[in-house]
Amino acid sequence: MFNLKKIKPSTYILPQEGSMLVPGLLIASEEQLRQEELTKPLEQVRNVACLPGILGYSIAMPDIHWGYGFPIGGVAAMDAETGVISPGGVGYDINCGVRMAIVPILFRDLKEVTKQALLDAIFRLIPSGAGRGSSKAKNLSDSDYVHLATQGARWSIEQGFGFAQDLDHMESQGVLEEADIRAVSLEAKNRGKNQLGSIGSGNHFVEIGEVKEIFMPDIAKAWRIESNQTYILIHTGSRGFGHQICQDFLNDFMQKGWAKNLPDRQLVAAPIQSPEGQQYWKAMASAANYAFNNRQQILHGVRQAFHETCAMAPEKIHLIYDVCHNIAKMEHHVVDGKRMKLCVHRKGATRAYGPASPDLAPIFQKTGQPVLVPGDMGRASYLMAGLGNPITWCSSCHGAGRAKSRIQAMQEWKKQGAVEQMKKQGVKVIAHSYRTIAEEMPDAYKNVDIVVNATQEAGLAQKVARLQPALVLKG
């Protein structure tokens, strides 16, 4: 149906046709190409290729699945002067992302009673669930929002949530400079005012486990990672704050007619340089900075939990990296031999800069950027290193990608013992809602091994370590 043409390992061209302005590009294994579930997401890849100002390709990662307008696992770069910015190309959860930290304890040295106490402490210290914030958290004032948007994660660190050295281990040092809280609605600020430090619901989580296998010893050593160490993964974003910002601007763009002549109105987009485009940009950056602060405060809570249960000093828990995977960013890339400023939309995709990138902190310029790829709570997650591949605008996959809808997963597990099944797999899982656990069972996701292998084979990023989950807090 799509007449895909293989151009190199795990890399396929979707031919340009109709109103497409550029071809499509699919990163996938041959096994994935045989799956019927690719049909609808690849239609979205075609649709994205019709957006004004798009350059290169409309790109799909191997974890691609159906999303709002853009596919999840989609990447598109627009000319910063003549192109458009699309809220659907960022997503509702602005700067949903992942951070990884390492605890200098061998996971096997933790006793079972300690593991349970640790999970219970994390559940107590970190609010989770749909709409839940922290009853103990300070409601954000207008002044707080100004500082949060201006300073990014540094604001939380100055409030006592972490350490200054954490900043070098975050994408963009934990701040998007273009943020302006004046572009954000009162409703968005009200939704987010007590949600900092909370994970929310759905596929968001805190995961503790073991570094099971190391593939690149030199890189692992540079990042202070050893086999059998305990790791922390945190996956969440900008909560109700970012969700409302997305909805506000989707509504505004629709009302102003920006969806006209697009193949799917969910792709609605404003010219980047228009007043509407600039307002969205400032509000989106504010939500991105909210999310950096959110993950910073959650890590602080996990550090507290380790201190309570394992007498581990918080400063000894080392942040490896924090990455965005729902974001639009201004970046410089080479297009047809010319260096250009582009607006790169990554929705369910991760920046993957390679060695020597000037945008990385010195510690990562020799190794490339850490790329965090959570899988599912039963099989594995991966730590990779970016290779800076220009064909995808230095982008990589962001996770395993869903294989089943939430409704389908819930129907299959609603009468079965999901928690007990996870125990059989050696994983303790806790959540406010059984429904969340049922929706997030491992069989609801693609096999992350296949996704990561295709990513590596295509030359986007290389495997550094395989991570085995053991203790999981779900929303």
Residue 124 CB coordination number (10 Å): 12
Closest listed residue to residue 328, CA positions, set 65, 86, 97, 42: 86
Distance between terminal CA atoms of the chain? 39
**Structure-block tokens of residue 125:** 């210290």
Residue 398 a catalytic site member: yes
C-alpha 252/C-alpha 272 separation (Å) is: 15
DSSP 38: G
Helix (H) or strand (E) holding 102: strand 97-106
C-alpha 426/C-alpha 434 separation (Å) is: 18
**Three-state DSSP class for 128?**
coil
Q: Report the side by side order of strands in the sheet with 54-65.
A: 5-8, 11-14, 24-27, 54-65, 72-79, 338-347, 326-335
Asked if 70 and 78 count as a contact pair (C-beta separation under 8 A), the reply is no
C-alpha 344/C-alpha 99 separation (Å) is: 21
C-alpha 440/C-alpha 413 separation (Å) is: 10
Q: In the block, which residue shows the tokens 């902190």?
A: 361
C-alpha 352/C-alpha 397 separation (Å) is: 9
Residue 131 CB coordination number (10 Å): 11
C-alpha 472/C-alpha 464 separation (Å) is: 22
CA dihedral 188, 192, 194, 198 (to 10 degrees): 160
Q: Which of 65, 204, 318, 398 is catalytic?
A: 398
Helix (H) or strand (E) holding 364: helix 362-365
Q: Which residues contact 235 (CB under 8 A, 6 or more apart)?
A: 96, 97, 98, 199, 203, 204, 205, 206, 207, 374
Helix (H) or strand (E) holding 289: helix 275-310
Query: Annotated active-site positions, please?
Result: 398
